Amino acid sequence: MFDSVSLYRKMLTCRRIEEAIAGLWHEGLISGEMHLGIGEEAINAGVLDHLGDGDAVALDHRGTAGMLLMGVEAAAIIKECMGVEDGLCGGMGGHMHMFSKDHLAASSGIVGSSGPAACGFALAAQHLRPEKVAVAFFGEGAMNQGMLMESMNLAAAWDLPVLFVCRDNGTAITTSSASVTGGSLEERARGLGVPAKSINGVDAEAVWNEAAGMLDRVRSGRGPSFLRATCLRPQGHFLGDPLIRMVHKPFSEMMPRTGPLVSSAISSGGASIQQRMASLSKIMAMIGRAARTQLGNTHDPVLRMRKKLQITSVELAGLENEVERNVKNAVENALLSVPAGRKEAAR
């Protein structure tokens, strides 16, 4: 039965943990690129709320929320992101390459690889754990990867218990997905023999209900299913995304780039003026798309879920304070593993 309070707790926890991870990244305690799933909470929680012991999940480079929802300790995830020795994978995997054998959960930064991984989990379940399932999470850009298409084909041919979940934000890094992807993703899945549906990935209850039906079908041995869930991702492809910085600080971020752009547009030689103007138009379109990813009350899945809760303001405050305390404790626990010298260097 759908439990809005329980689901909101999970979604809020994912949001707060990822915000805490973003804070550590900005402080310099996490190095390299950081890909967050802020804006995808309804999809992650709405699907994974149906999984239990023996079920498995294959995640992409935005795997922190999925790991958390599968029961991995938040502190272990944060430590892994910071690269410390007692992190989930000994600090060797970072946020993109995490694995927990106990939770049957794995993530990979290789685009499209969640498909083969989920098929592996599902094949094992088919032989060793009847009625257990695997879920693969990926972005719409991964639908153009051969290994993902091959995985869907294999899952259909072998009736593997896999739910393929596509989180579609309409942008593959900085490229408009519509400009590089032909046809309908749902039709593409159906062409491989996989039943497919599309849903608003901001509506947690709708995702939960759709996932419930699909997973019931998958568990019953009738083969895989495909769910495309649309969403917005306000942080862009990664933290520090220059397009997002331009949206939030247009003057300071655009000024250093305006000169080179104008110089390129008016310089002699090279491409025609029409081609240069077309390139500038594409750049402006990219910035415009980035601006449209910013979450408002309508497109924020956490706020949208919060408004549906049928609890008192006192109960809501208690729930949110508890989540805040748990996240704070997890961060403090994780920071205990960071050498003092590294903390000083980050300040």
pLDDT of residue 270: 81
Residues spanned by the domain of 247:
242-291
Q: Angle at CA 305, nearest 5°, toward 241 and 178?
A: 45
Q: What per-residue confidence (pLDDT) applies to 325?
A: 98
- Residues 163, 203, single domain; the answer is yes
Tokens representing residue 333 in the block:
């626990």
CB < 8 Å & 24+ apart, contacts of 71-77: 71/103, 72/98, 72/100, 72/103, 72/105, 73/330, 74/13, 74/17, 74/326, 74/327, 74/330, 75/330, 75/331, 75/333, 75/334, 77/17
Same domain, 261 and 202: no
Same domain for 205 and 173, yes or no, is yes
What are the tens digits of pLDDT across the range 181-220?
Answer: 999 999 999 999 999 999 999 999 999 999 999 999 999 9
- Smallest CA-to-CA distance from 8 within 305, 301, 340 is with 305
Which value, in Å, is the radius of gyration of the alpha carbons in the chain? Answer: 21
Q: Do residues 131 and 187 share a domain?
A: yes
Handedness of CA 295, 297, 300, 303 (dihedral sign): positive
Mean pLDDT of 59-84: 98
CA distances (Å), origin 210, targets 221, 226, 267: 18, 11, 55
Instruction: Tell whether 76 and 225 lie within a shared domain.
Output: yes
Residue 23: give its domain's CATH number: 3.40.50.970
Task: Please check whether residues 231 and 315 belong to one and the same domain.
Answer: yes
Whether the predicted pLDDT of 227 surpasses 80: yes
At 237 the pLDDT is: 94
Closest CA to 237 of 83, 3, 82, 34: 34
Among 37-51, 155-169, 171-185, 206-220, which stretch is predicted with the lowest mean pLDDT?
Answer: 171-185
Give the per-residue pLDDT at 208.
98
DSSP 3-state of 140: helix
Mean pLDDT over 18-33 rounds to 96
How large is the average pLDDT for residues 241-268? 84
Q: Is the model's pLDDT at 274 over the cut of 90?
A: no
Q: Are residues 220 and 192 in the same domain?
A: yes
Same structural domain, 156 and 286: no
Q: Sign of dihedral through CA atoms 63, 69, 72, 74?
A: positive
Q: What is the pLDDT of residue 257?
A: 83
Q: Are residues 221 and 324 in the same domain?
A: yes
Q: Which of 91-95, 154-158, 274-278 has the lowest mean pLDDT?
A: 274-278
The verdict on 39 and 109 lying in the same domain is yes
pLDDT at 328 over 90: yes
Same structural domain, 188 and 255: no
Q: What percent of the chain has pLDDT over 90?
A: 81
* 21 lies in the same domain as 141: yes
pLDDT band at 347 (very low <50, low <70, confident <90, very high): low
When divided into structural domains, the chain yields a total of: 2
Q: So what's the pLDDT on residue 216? A: 98
Between these two residues, 18 and 242, which has the higher pLDDT value?
A: 18
The pLDDT of residue 311? 97
Q: Using pLDDT thresholds of 50, 70 and 90, give the confidence band for residue 271.
A: confident
Q: The whole model's pTM is what?
A: 0.94
Output the average pLDDT for the chain.
94
Q: What is the pLDDT of residues 134-151, one digit of tens each?
A: 999 999 999 999 999 999
- Does position 276 have pLDDT exceeding 90, yes or no? no
pLDDT, one tens digit per residue, over 102-112 is 999 999 999 99
